[in-house]
Amino acid sequence: MIPCEIRVYLPYGLTDRRLMCDGVSLESIVERLGTPVYVYSARAVREAYRAIDEAFTGYPHAIHYALKANSTLALLRVVRQLGGRADANSIGELQVALRAGFAPDDLVFTGVGKTRAELEFAVAQGVAAINVESPGELDRIAQIAADRGVAARVAVRVNPDIDAKSHPNISTGLKTNKFGVALSEARDVYRARRDVRGLRFVGVHVHIGSQITTPEPLTRAAEVLSDLALALRSDGVALEHMDLGGGLGIGYDGRPALSAADYAAAVLPALRRCGLPVVLEPGRALVAHAGALVSRVVDVKVYPDSRRFAVLDAGMTELMRPALYGSFHRICPVVPRDTPDTPWDVVGPICESSDVFARDRPLPELRVDDLVAVLDTGAYGAVMASNYNRRLLAPEVLVDAGGWSVIRRRQTLDDILALEA
């Protein structure tokens, strides 16, 4: 297996100099499905789930997997079978979660700009909590619920002005970000609506960002939330849970990141102080390591200054993170040549200069038709794919129990054109 964080299960590794996923040959998958193709390890999802679940053993907790990381039905079913619940960010994600077999009270519903239709759907379903972004949204929910003669279960998302020390594009807990209600106003927002028909305050919510790899911001967020929950208790607002959001990062570079145990250690003292059951919304930490994007080299270009490009048949349309955040992904040839590593620019085929997976990456020699795997792409990979350049969405495969199956077929041109007049 590729050396990495010892406490994290990594499904991709070389056996007899061929890259495998849990012992299943990536070449055999490509032989049937072509490239590009996303491959996921069910075992990696289970191991990641168990790591978080075990880290919080002894403290009442619920793991609401954040669908935004990857919402392919078969993966959701893996999470559900483990006892997981769901965090949805749109009406589409709510509906997909229900189709995957989650019950309405397994769902929390987050999202910075929920439409009236989305709120009506969530209220009608009776989800476990709507994580509310503003006083205005609370009032809209109250109206919708009162019209139906029910009380909607709500939690206010607090913006604690804490720097998650992650990439600025995935930091959400600063006062310059659009998310949540300012901490200084949150208590009043609850107090002013304590007796409003149509609202039942069940929790407090925070999510300060994604790919967080240091414990301090997570500790501070938990402390802030705990203080707020205690203050609300003294105001007579009895809550049922504290929702700490997601954000637990992974080691994209193969070096140790914050483990589930580190995460629990960072937040449990604050949780214990207030005693409320905790809701966790991990996305990336559950599915990122599970995924690989397998792609073929379609061209090799050597410039006179000896810069070398390997052009893949996958690009920012399949995996947007490098173009969007400059993010790093390990790249492994599926059958690495026995040559010394030299620097390669690994790029996609899209007509955008940002369509680059890696610059100056030390890799063995690459030739046209070679296969490469872009690792740790189970989260924010397939879900962010697009049809730009009229490219078709790649198929997705789940490796489980020594076999594999197609969990989403490759899109066809007819699939896209069916929408057009």
Active-site positions read 351
To the nearest whole angstrom, how small is the minimum distance from the Cβ of residue 71 to ligand PLP? 12
**Cα 248 off chain centre by:** 10
| Of 160 and 282, CB closest to ligand PLP | 282
- How many angstroms separate the CA atoms of 208 and 177, rounded? 10
To the nearest whole angstrom, how small is the minimum distance from the Cβ of residue 321 to ligand PLP? 12
| Of 11 and 246, CB closest to ligand PLP | 246
362 contacts 343 by C-beta, under 8 angstroms: yes
To the nearest whole angstrom, how small is the minimum distance from the Cβ of residue 398 to ligand PLP? 20
369 membership: H or E segment, kind and range: none
| Of 11 and 111, CB closest to ligand PLP | 111
Residues found near ligand PLP in the complex (CB under 6 A): 66, 68-69, 87, 110, 207, 210, 245-248, 281-285, 379
Closest CA to 88 of 50, 49, 127, 120: 127
To the nearest whole angstrom, how small is the minimum distance from the Cβ of residue 118 to ligand PLP? 15
Residues 144, 149, 150, 154, Cα dihedral to 10°:
30
| Of 28 and 115, CB closest to ligand PLP | 115
Reported residue count of the chain is: 421
The Cα angle at residue 162 between residues 157 and 168, in degrees rounded to 5: 100
- How many angstroms separate the CA atoms of 242 and 166, rounded? 23
To the nearest whole angstrom, how small is the minimum distance from the Cβ of residue 389 to ligand PLP? 27
| Of 69 and 257, CB closest to ligand PLP | 69
- How many angstroms separate the CA atoms of 29 and 388, rounded? 25
Q: Kindly tell me the sign of the dihedral angle through the C-alpha atoms of 64, 387, 313, 359.
A: negative
| Of 278 and 371, CB closest to ligand PLP | 278
Cα distances from 142 to residues 17, 123, 137, 152, 234, in angstroms, run 60, 10, 9, 7, 23
DSSP, residue by residue, 242-283: EE----B---TTSS----HHHHHHHHHHHHHHH---EEE--S
Closest CA to 356 of 380, 320, 391: 320
| Of 68 and 296, CB closest to ligand PLP | 68
DSSP state of 382: G
Residues paired with 242 in a beta bridge:
204, 278
To the nearest whole angstrom, how small is the minimum distance from the Cβ of residue 156 to ligand PLP? 13
To the nearest whole angstrom, how small is the minimum distance from the Cβ of residue 69 to ligand PLP? 5
